Amino acid sequence: MIDALLAGLKRLRTALTVLRSRAVVYRGRGLHIGRNAMLWAPDRITIGDNVYIGKDVHVECNCEIGDHVLIANRVAFLGRHDHDFRAVGFPVRFAPWIGSARRPSPWRHERVVVEPDVWIGFGAIVLTGVRIGRGAIVAAGSVVTRDVAPYSIVAGTPARAVDERFAGAADIAAHEAAIANGTFVFSERGYDRCTIAPGLDGGRPDPR
């Protein structure tokens, strides 16, 4: 009874965060947004299915987040051109701002793209103009300033490739087939209440 009530409150928090943001133009099924997360963009945010957004996450730019993405606590998506500090005659506090209607920015439509099946670790920062490829892993505390290749693992400031998620193309193909043919349903009652059934042997769900 209590866990069902808590799950309902989490779903309500997610709905209120989306409603308050006004920038989310699409949200898929199974979205979770943690406490104190903030979503804002000058134009739009789109979020796929089964996306987890952790506590204290700040999205402050246009972004597109694919299916099955895990965004850990205290991650930030930030605009690299939010304030035009090169504008002559403007103190930086009053420099032309990315969200201004009065002084439209040429960078207004910059965005972050996170392709499906990506994990972004605790405290990572991702700047606009970046695409994080399908299946990639971003290590905790990284600062992502350039594109991340699919299924690579990046770390550091600025983030650089340090490893690969899988051993080779055969493992990637098997992984993608298992996801495409599987069934995955999120539950706010906890990980062990989720439906997690990768598709195996031509599409049969894993019975575990």
Q: Are residues 181 and 119 in the same domain?
A: no
Which long-range contacts does 32-41 make (Cβ < 8 Å, 24+ apart)? 32/186, 32/188, 33/57, 34/73
Closest CA to 200 of 168, 176, 164: 176
Question: What are the Cα distances from residue 169, in Å, to 70, 135, 166?
Answer: 23, 13, 8
DSSP-assigned letter for residue 202? T
Q: Are residues 53 and 126 in the same domain?
A: yes
Number of domains making up the chain? 2
Q: Which domain holds residue 52?
A: 2-165
Q: Are residues 123 and 192 in the same domain?
A: no
Q: Are residues 32 and 127 in the same domain?
A: yes
pTM of full prediction above 0.75: yes
Q: Are residues 101 and 176 in the same domain?
A: no
Q: What is the pLDDT along the chain (208 residues), one digit of tens a residue?
A: 788 888 998 999 999 999 999 999 999 999 999 999 999 999 999 999 999 999 999 999 999 999 999 999 999 999 999 999 999 999 999 999 999 999 999 999 999 999 999 999 999 999 999 999 999 999 999 999 999 999 999 999 999 999 999 999 999 999 999 999 999 999 999 999 999 999 976 445 555 5
Q: Are residues 157 and 175 in the same domain?
A: no
Q: Are residues 160 and 171 in the same domain?
A: no
**If phi over 0 gives left and psi between -120 and 50 gives alpha, with beta otherwise, what is residue 145?**
alpha
